[in-house]
Structure formats: structure tokens, C-alpha cells
Amino acid sequence: MTIGKTGQILLADIGGTNARFALSQGDQTGPIDYVKVADFPTVREAIADVLARRCHGLPPPRAVLAVAGPVTNNRCVMTNSPWVIDGNELQPAFAFDSVHVLNDFEVVAWSLPALQPADLIPLGGQDGLPGEPLLVVGPGTGFGVSCLVERHGARLAVVTEAGHATLPAEDEREERVIACMRRRLGHVSIERGALSGSGLQSLYEAVAEIDGAQVPHRDAAAITKAALEGSCELSRKTLEMFCAILGSVAGNLAVTFGARGGVYIAGGIVPRFPDFLAASAFRARFEAKGRFQDYLRNIPTRLVTKPDASFLGLKMFAEHNQP
């Protein structure tokens, strides 16, 4: 894709292992370049390689970069790679007019208004109220949460660390499971205790302990596989508890943010078992807020299945933040 500089934007989705880059102009986004982080000592060298191949000496004036990590002052020190993504350094290095560095879940929040029915699997509720906050939660390597708020024509994606809040229990069995994890972990957060890859494994081990079951060591992928195949009853119970807790936490966050526009489930884990999630206690637990049950009943919950939602979010942010 070779286009002139005017209106062109470099988009990037940068993780600890892989990074994806694309050039966008207007409604068109060019092919995605997949880059292994280990192949480049710095993000600057990776960007230079992509631009040399795609721009032929005509770099774009703007860049919007999503990163899997906390962003402070337009800068992110990656947790699982040596890269430091600093917009204030990249801007003069490539003569960009502007560089925005965003948290990856902030970018997913930006994508929500542009998602189409084909990008989503409905999981109950009504249509959502126009203009009201949109919430996205995502179990994956960690537990991401962001909320897109629109007021008076301005949009803001609120970035949170909600995954490190304390994991709640809804019944006696969950209390016993969390107590078991507390003895091992100390503080049991939403992320560490359930709603992440490592959290699912912690949940599996705690359920096995309180049930007195002897089961093989399994990571999150193996637990999910055994549960869906029906080859391990304990894995199935664990995944059912995972879905129920996800419903409770999503409901808590929905009332916290007043997310009457809708709640979206993203991340790398849940899209692997949409039917299991739909048949689970997820939606019942989402609505189970006592006097606020009617409030929750009207809020739609949807599973995001679009694989490149991050690029849609990057474009939405760029369009809403024109210079």
C-alpha cells in the first residue's frame, strides 16, 4: 500500500511477543505487517522497517499505537519485552506531527461503537441506551477493563486497573474456593483468582483442593479443552465457576460505571467457548444484583468475536482526535 503523506496514519497493536502494524487513510486500512518483537531491539527499528517497506520514503504524519501495558505520559515500558514505547521520542525520530500511545484495552473500548452485529454474539439483555457508557471486560493474560464515555460530543475511554480489585464470592462454595487461594496467594484479586489464564489455573487447583480431587496439572488451555470435551468433570466445574464469576464481576462493573449502553466481553479466553458461556450462569449472575436486577436486565451483554477490533479502535480514536 503506497499512498501519499496527507491523511495517512500508522496504526500499531504491540504485545509482548508480537506487534502488528498497518497504514490507514480514510476508510481504508492497508495490509497488516506482523512483526516478532524479538527480531528488533527497539520499537523504533521495527517502525523504521515497516515504513521503509510500505511508505517508500513518505512517512505518515500521525501514529496511534496500542500497547499491552500501562501508559503514563504517552510512554509504556513493556512488561514482557525490552521495548519502551515513548511517543515523545518517536515523534521527532520519524517527523510525525503527533504520536498517541494507548493502552490496548483503551483501544478496544474505542472500537465498541463501530462493531457490527457480525462482530458480536449476543448474550442477553435489551438493545442498550444510545449515548450511555459502553463497558468492555476481557479475561486473557490479565483482566482488562475499560469504559467508553460520551458526553456533549466528546468521547473518553476510561482506563482502569479493575483486575486487581478483590475477587468477590457469591455463595459458600466460592467463599471456600477463595479462602483456599487466599492461603496460597494472600490477596486474591479478580485477575489472579479467576479471570485470566493464570487465574483459571488457580481456580482449578483450588476447586480440586476443596473437593479432595486428584487431578493432573493443567494450564488454562488444557482446562478449557478438557471442560469442553467433557473428559474432566473438575475442569468442567472450574469453567462453569469461571463463567459465573465473570457474570458477577461484569455486573458489578456495569453498575459501577452506569454502563447502560452495553457490556462487551473481549480478551483471548472467552471467544473459545461462546456456546458454553451462553449456557452457563454468566447472564443470571450478571443480573443478580438484588434491587438493581431490573437495571441490569436491560443492559445487553455481547461477546466480541472480531479478531482485529484493535485496529478498528485505533482508527476510531484517530478520527475522533483529529489535529
* CA-based nearest residue to 36, from 45, 28, 27: 45
Determine the pLDDT at residue 5: 46
Q: Count CB-CB contacts under 10 A for residue 213.
A: 13
The rounded distance, in Å, linking the Cα atoms of 310 and 38 is 22
Contact (CB, 8 A) for 32 and 20: yes
Tens digit of pLDDT per residue, the chain (323 long)?
Answer: 333 444 789 999 998 889 999 999 877 888 899 999 999 999 999 999 999 888 876 789 999 999 988 899 999 998 778 899 999 999 999 999 999 999 999 999 999 999 999 999 999 998 899 999 999 999 998 899 999 999 988 999 999 999 999 999 999 999 999 999 999 999 999 999 999 999 999 999 999 999 999 999 999 999 999 999 999 999 999 999 999 999 999 999 999 999 999 999 999 899 999 999 999 999 999 999 999 999 999 999 999 999 889 999 999 999 888 77
Phi, psi (5° rounding) for residue 73? Answer: 55, 45
Q: Closest Cα to residue 31, out of 52, 56, 2, 7?
A: 2
Q: Quote the pLDDT of residue 26.
A: 79
pTM value? 0.91
Backbone φ and ψ for 248, nearest 5 degrees, come out as -60, -45
> What is the grid cell recorded at 259?
454502563
Q: Please, which residues bridge with residue 166 across strands? A: 189
Give pLDDT, residue 57.
65
From CA 113, how far away is CA 122, in angstroms rounded?
15
Residue 80: CB atoms within 10 Å: 12
